[in-house]
Amino acid sequence: MTTTTYADIPYEELLEARRASGVPMYNDNKMKLGIFGSNCSHGLMATHAESSYELTWEHTQKIAQLADKLGFEAMLPVARYRGMGGETNFNGTNFETHTWAAGLAQATENIMVFSTIHVPTKHPIVAAKESVTVDHISNGRHGLNMTMGWYKAEMEMFGGTQREHDARYRYGSEWITIAKRMWTEGEGVDFKGEFFEIKDAFSDPKPIQKPYPVLVNAGNSPAGLEFCARECDFNFIAFATPEEAKDTAARVRSIAHGFGRDLGILSYGNIICRDTEKETKALLNHILDKGDWEVAKMVSKGLGTESGSFDKVKALQERFILGYGGYPLIGTPEQIVDQMIELNKAGVNGMMVGFLDYVEELQYFGERVLPLMKEAGLRQ
């Protein structure tokens, strides 16, 4: 890089630097893979179904090291400061994500270690310094997943009220501008905006990744899409069908092209996979039968879905139980790969996945699904 101000870095130069330095999220695999949610109790599934998964550091390392060995590109945590209620108090026990990423950076060799942050909960100067530290510990394998703070009860823990939706993204835009300047500029940073006033701030060392760590955001509203297109490297989308995924991916990329940029498209979902359709369906039914329907109903009500039809509300609640409302991949190994192919053709570049039993089922995934993904050309 010949420039020091992030806004002046040509987008193609940014891509070239990341590919040349071997950043995993920019490798040649057509379908990137990441482990999602393994820093929280119950992972991504709000269910009492039996599992050996537990939130201990020993178990956390085991998951990350296995994913690293299998060639996964990313470990992506969920940022939580309180549980979501229900019988399980879903995700109520959890690890903070910057220190989690730092620990896993020491325990792994190649996989990217992401932090997830609710930007209203941490000052950008502090977060920028923390991310640089993890980037150095990992030798350039750190990424930052930014959320604007959607869980009202959680945001109120920090002594404020939930900002109006679009104001959250104005706040986030100032926040990431300050962080990027801390990462890329050699002189003291001055900034005055709607939310922040910064005087002569600086941070050394700079990130190993150039110009700064990979940035992810899940904004899908108009304000969120614009923020992600302008500031981030990957958009984390949610969808109900592959057709919807195709439409969303095309819309996201069209907005990004307006800023002279491209965006990678990521999504998420739990994998429910067994050798036969009968075994898979039995596991699916067991997870739902043991589901925490109390928390699913509370979340659906909070998202304003109770006014929909019974079938629609029920489907959304099932999606929450099966994995935070993501797109679950359900079937035999062959069917899972067929679904991955369909999503990749729709424009999805990576899936961040969870399992009912992370270690046991990740081993199975490596033995039965990954070879088929390689045969299909999704992985090298």
Domain harbouring 179, CATH code: 3.20.20.30
Say if residue 1's pLDDT is above 50: no
> Average pLDDT of the chain?
91
Both structure tokens of 158? 């920090």
Least confident of 222-231, 287-296, 306-315: 306-315
Q: Tell me the mean pLDDT in the region 234-261.
A: 94
Q: Residue 8: what pLDDT?
A: 65
Residues 6+ apart with CB under 8 A from 15: 26
In a domain, 274, yes or no: yes
Question: Rounded to whole angstroms, what are the CA distances from 317 to 156, 229, 287, 323?
Answer: 25, 30, 13, 10
pTM of the entire structure?
A: 0.93
Are residues 155 and 120 in contact, defined by beta-carbon separation less than 8 angstroms? yes
Say if residue 3's pLDDT is above 50: no
Say if residue 305's pLDDT is above 80: no
Least confident of 93-107, 148-162, 247-261: 148-162
Distance separating alpha carbons of residues 35 and 59, to the nearest angstrom: 14
Say if residue 18's pLDDT is above 90: no
Confidence grade of residue 362 (pLDDT, cut at 50, 70, 90): very high
Per the omega criterion (within 30 degrees of 0), is the bond before 211 cis? yes
Identify which has the larger pLDDT, 300 or 333.
Answer: 333
Q: Tell me the mean pLDDT in the region 253-261.
A: 93
In a domain, 26, yes or no: yes
Q: Residue 9: what pLDDT?
A: 74
**CB atoms < 10 A from the CB of 50, how many?**
10
Residue range(s) defining the domain that contains residue 76? 6-374
Confidence grade of residue 303 (pLDDT, cut at 50, 70, 90): low
In a domain, 380, yes or no: no
Q: Residue 141: what pLDDT?
A: 97
Q: Tell me the mean pLDDT in the region 246-251.
A: 95
Say if residue 309's pLDDT is above 80: no
Least confident of 84-88, 232-236, 267-271, 283-287: 84-88
Are residues 218 and 235 in contact, defined by beta-carbon separation less than 8 angstroms? yes
Q: Residue 7: what pLDDT?
A: 61
Q: Residue 231: what pLDDT?
A: 94
Q: Residue 299: what pLDDT?
A: 79
Q: Tell me the mean pLDDT in the region 200-228.
A: 93
Query: Residue 200 region, left (φ>0) first, then alpha (ψ -120 to 50), else beta?
Result: left
Q: Tell me the mean pLDDT in the region 305-329.
A: 77
Q: Residue 80: what pLDDT?
A: 87
In a domain, 303, yes or no: yes
Distance separating alpha carbons of residues 126 and 148, to the nearest angstrom: 17
Distance separating alpha carbons of residues 283 and 327, to the nearest angstrom: 17
Confidence grade of residue 276 (pLDDT, cut at 50, 70, 90): very high
Q: Residue 70: what pLDDT?
A: 98
In a domain, 1, yes or no: no
Q: How many domains does the chain have?
A: 1
Q: Residue 311: what pLDDT?
A: 57
Least confident of 163-167, 328-332, 365-369: 163-167
Q: How much of the chain, in percent, has pLDDT values that exceed 90?
A: 77
Strand 189-192 to strand 234-236: parallel, antiparallel, or no bridges (unpaired)?
unpaired
Say if residue 368's pLDDT is above 80: yes
Say if residue 244's pLDDT is above 60: yes
Q: How much of the chain, in percent, has pLDDT values that exceed 70?
A: 94
